[in-house]
Structure 1
């Protein structure tokens, strides 16, 4: 008996980022508005984090709304008709509904129906994870063009009296369109996790505890020193591995775009990598805050607005956060 031969999909050899879009919460919240409940000061927050203001959305704005705005800009800038986008991936930890996904709603809103669409959670590494997935799925022939979005409304999960992380957090979304390329535009991804440190950063309670009256509304917490040491020392090694995996050195980079966790972490990170002075570091945290999965594409968007000449250059991007999880890759800037 003969068996029919299945046809398996296959796609282009290479992919790249075609465009980037951004959306930030419309309210700029200065440090002085937050210092009372945490018994702190504007000076202390600036020295410890580099943050002057953080972008926060109004009560009537959800993460899906921020994702939609960023996604629309990315699609418009890409030059690809929205109906040719056949994959939408949203990295987020702040969808207020377990279902439906933000991605499915955004796909409809931007005109990409009936694109495959799903949300994924890798916290502050979520965008790097989503880029890795879009790259792999396109090269496998499972999609042709992907809209990748990191979107967060972290002000929904902030306790204003918390001194560990609340004053860091902002709201926003960053998006890229990923598509086929004649040359390699996304390097091999180095990613992983360390669940033994799951308690270092994350939610302080579960939704079932809140439902049963055993806790207050779950909010984010972190062990600052644990996260700082891990981010600076362990993640510098991951960043170097990503350079090696891409077959380049730091001398080949035009930009370094890390997760916008904390300005001190970004500065120490750059020192550990011994980046040449010619490498421009993406910095968005001073006026936007830490936006988790949205922070890398938001920093990329700002970088290219301020330095359009870097378009086409190589950028090392790395995300790291709750899990603990991490992901890094070198990309050609759109």
Structure 2
């Protein structure tokens, strides 16, 4: 018996980002605010992590609400209609509940009818993982247009008496719309994990708060991540000196600066959104990229390097063309 061949849909040669969008909760918590309840001060926090203030979501703002705001803005900026989106990927590690999919709820709230929808958890590398997955889906013909969202409410997993974590993490959401293109606008993703250190950043169970071994994470990030970033440049065929921007996960200003020095992208603007937004985990990269575009810090069409890293210890990087 001769079996019939499978039909393969016409596929796009590449994928690109049409637009970014972001959402920052209204409540601002400064270092001086934190100093009223824990043993710290502005100088101590700035010297260790580079943060001046962070955004904290309201009680009625969860992963879905944050994602709807950012996703809606990205969709509006893209010029596409909700009906044009057929896949929604939501990257998060701070979900209030394990099911149902928060991506499905966001899609419904945005009026996106019957898309593929799923949540993805690669912690602080989540947006880069989701972007790589979206690019692959478009190039394989599994989706035409993909809404990729990083949405985090880290504040609900914080012990606000633990100054090693409560000074760092914050809330927010960022999003991007991915579509097919004749020329690639999203480079190959370089991703991986160091499972031996999976417990260096951890929420042990549903009744616990986030814990991290700060010094161990700092050493890992400042030694292991720059080679990943350089490999992403090499695989995309872009020299570091040709980058217009480097957008690392906004974990710690000292880590960001160390990675940028090692990449040696001498002409690139380095994202420092952490100063005013804190560490928003899987939301930090699209939040930072969206702000850079809105401020006119980077030119449309130029290459930017995205680098995510965090709990797992997971990491991912790719070069994109700035929309």
The answer to whether the superposition gives a TM-score over 0.5 is yes
Matching of residues 263-282 of structure 1 within 5 Å? 263-276=253-266, 278-282=267-271
1:74 paired residue number: 74
Structure 1 residue 251 corresponds to structure 2 residue 250: no
Deviates more, 1:119-128 or 1:89-98: 89-98
Secondary structure of residue in 2 paired with 1:65:
helix
Alignment of 1:1-334 (within 5 A): 1-203=1-203, 205-207=204-206, 217-276=207-266, 278-307=267-296, 309-334=298-323
What's the CA shift for 1:329? 0.2
In 2, the alpha carbon distance for the partners of 1:269 and 1:82 equals 37
Residue in 2 aligned with 1:213?
none
Other structure's SS at 1:114 match: coil
Deviation at 1:320, TM superposition (A): 0.1
TM-score of the superposed pair, with normalisation by structure 2: 0.97
1:77-121 alpha-carbon deviations (Å, 9 max, x no partner)? 101111010000000011112111110011111121111000010
SS in 1 for 2:167: helix
8 Å CA contact 2:245–2:298 kept in 1: the answer is no
Distance 2:289 2:220 in 1: 23
1:309 offset after TM fit, Å?
Answer: 5.0
TM-aligned CA deviation for residue 10 of structure 1: 4.4
- The alpha carbon displacement at 1:182 in A equals 2.1
- SS of the residue 2:143 aligns to: coil
Q: For residues 190 and 38 of structure 2, what CA distance do their matches in structure 1 show?
A: 37
Instruction: State which drifts further: 221-230 or 144-153.
Output: 221-230
SS in 2 for 1:315: strand
- Deviation at residue 202 of structure 1 after TM alignment: 1.4
Q: 3-state SS of the aligned residue for 2:163?
A: coil
Residue 283 of structure 1 contacts residue 303 of structure 1 at CA under 8 Å; is this kept in 2? no
Q: RMSD over aligned Cα, in angstroms?
A: 1.2
Shift of 1:73: 0.5
Q: How many residues are paired up?
A: 323
Once residues 82 and 271 of structure 2 are traced to their aligned partners in structure 1, the CA distance between those partners, rounded to angstroms, is 28
Provide the C-alpha distance between the structure 1 equivalents of 2:172 and 2:256, rounded to a whole number of angstroms: 19
Unaligned runs of 5+ in 2: none
What secondary structure sits across from 2:178 in the alignment?
Answer: strand
User: How far apart, in 2, do the equivalents of 1:309 and 1:267 lie?
Assistant: 18
